């Protein structure tokens, strides 16, 4: 199997793993096996440990400049302490389908932040795309959805959007670091800083996890969230970005809501309404237009 095909398969795997996570996390929370922040602490702790174990088997010598360590710490604050915590807590309140569709606004927010922080120009087409994305997100969060198990959809949707803001900030800040150092080294330290940032916030939820209620099924589900759904997803995504490109890897995020919807409908009994479909189309179109590169004459 050539490297191009493996990279495409890795990116598909990344988004399938993430899509499965939505339903598993909802299942564990809804059935009172674990709280959202407790699950997140397990994800961060195990992933950090696996990244350091991987480091022991790699011939990697990465030395960071002191000023860049501070930037990595800020990236960890955005990516782990804010993005992951807001997302998983928001997911516990809203529907899996809502969360996956709202996650798509990250590329739109990245475009806005790049315009503000990196002085990138926004064309008329991008403005239309941004408007469509905002319209789709607004339609999604203001319409009530039947089925599923969201107990505070508006709050959950708002937290997912805030998590998308945090991720977009991380992406803007991390991109120069990823170009300067090995991406896997950056990711390892982001998880390391992130662990110490999230530990005080998550330790209470972690202490309340009902370990005695876990059967073999729950252990397997938790393992899926932690290993394929977090650690391998990050590894696969980095591999896809390295072999193909960041923009190509980014297009695979479009597949994530599709996988999420299928899984959530089957296992969580969520329903896919006409308003979710319209909102999804608007968000998809908005992301496409706002991130499309202009044609060179």
Contact present, 244 and 7 (Cβ < 8 Å): yes
- In this structure, is residue 199 part of a structural domain? yes
Q: Does residue 218 register a pLDDT over 80?
A: yes
Confidence check: pLDDT of 78 > 50: yes
- Which pLDDT band holds residue 227 (cuts at 50, 70, 90)? very high
Q: Residues 13-28: what's their mean pLDDT?
A: 91
Output the CA–CA distances (angstroms, integers) from residue 182 to 66, 90, 188, 247, in the order listed.
Answer: 16, 32, 10, 18
Over residues 117-154, the pLDDT tens digits come to: 655 566 677 678 777 777 777 776 666 555 555 578 88
Query: Region 277-284: what's the mean pLDDT?
Result: 79
Whether 240 is covered by a domain: the verdict is: yes
State phi, psi for 80 to the nearest 5 degrees: -105, -55
Residue 297 belongs to some domain of the structure = no
Per-residue confidence (pLDDT) for residue 205, from 0 to 100:
94
Q: Which of 64, 12, 82, 5 is nearest to 251 (CA)?
A: 12
Predicted confidence at residue 296, as pLDDT, reads 43
Q: Which of 58-72, 119-133, 226-240 is predicted with the least confidence, judged by mean pLDDT?
A: 119-133
Contacts of 154 (CB under 8 A, 6+ apart): 141
Would residue 145 count as lying in a domain?
Answer: yes
Q: What share of the chain is helix, strand, coil (3-state, %, to 5)?
A: 80, 0, 20
Distance set, CA 71 to CA 171, 176, 177, 234 (Å): 12, 10, 8, 20
Number of H helices, E strands in the chain: 14, 0
Is residue 149 in some structural domain?
yes
The pLDDT value recorded for residue 179 is: 82
CA 62 to chain centre: 26
CB neighbour list of residue 128: distance below 8 Å, 6 or more residues apart: 289
* 95 vs 40 pLDDT, higher one: 40
Give pLDDT, residue 149: 59
Residue 187 located in a structural domain: yes
Domain that includes residue 131, residue range: 3-291
The pLDDT of 172-201, averaged and rounded, is 90
Please give the tally of structural domains in the chain.
1
Q: Which of 195-209, 237-251, 283-297 has the lowest mean pLDDT?
A: 283-297
- Asked whether residue 247 is domain-assigned, the answer is yes
Asked whether residue 296 is domain-assigned, the answer is: no
- Asked whether the beta carbons of 191 and 132 are under 8 A apart, the reply is no
């Amino acid at each position: 199997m050539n490297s191009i095909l493996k990279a495409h398969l890795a990116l598909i795997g990344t988004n399938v793993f993430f899509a499965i996570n939505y339903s598993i996390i909802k299942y564990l929370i809804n059935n009172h096996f674990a709280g959202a922040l407790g699950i997140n602490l397990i994800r961060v702790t195990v992933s950090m440990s696996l990244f350091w174990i991987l480091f022991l088997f790699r011939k990697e010598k990465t030395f960071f400049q002191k000023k860049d360590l501070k930037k990595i710490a800020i990236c960890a604050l955005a990516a782990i302490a804010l993005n992951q915590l807001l997302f998983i807590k928001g997911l516990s309140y809203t529907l899996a389908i809502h969360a996956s569709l709202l996650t798509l606004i990250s590329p739109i927010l990245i475009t806005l932040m790049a315009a503000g922080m990196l002085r990138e120009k926004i064309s008329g087409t991008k403005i239309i795309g941004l408007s469509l994305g905002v319209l789709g997100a607004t339609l999604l969060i203001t319409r009530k959805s039947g089925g599923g198990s969201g107990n505070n959809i508006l709050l959950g949707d708002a937290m997912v959007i805030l998590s998308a803001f945090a991720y977009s900030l991380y992406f803007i800040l991390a991109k120069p670091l990823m170009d300067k150092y090995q991406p896997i080294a950056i990711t390892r330290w982001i998880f390391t800083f992130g662990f110490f940032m999230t530990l005080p916030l998550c330790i209470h939820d972690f202490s309340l996890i009902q370990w005695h209620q876990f059967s073999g099924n729950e252990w397997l589900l938790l393992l899926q969230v932690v290993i394929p759904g977090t650690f391998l997803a990050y590894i696969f995504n980095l591999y896809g970005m390295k072999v193909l490109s960041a923009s190509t890897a980014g297009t695979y995020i479009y597949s994530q809501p599709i996988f999420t919807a299928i899984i959530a409908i089957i296992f969580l009994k969520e329903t896919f309404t006409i308003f979710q479909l319209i909102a999804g189309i608007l968000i998809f179109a908005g992301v496409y237009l706002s991130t499309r590169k202009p044609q060179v004459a």
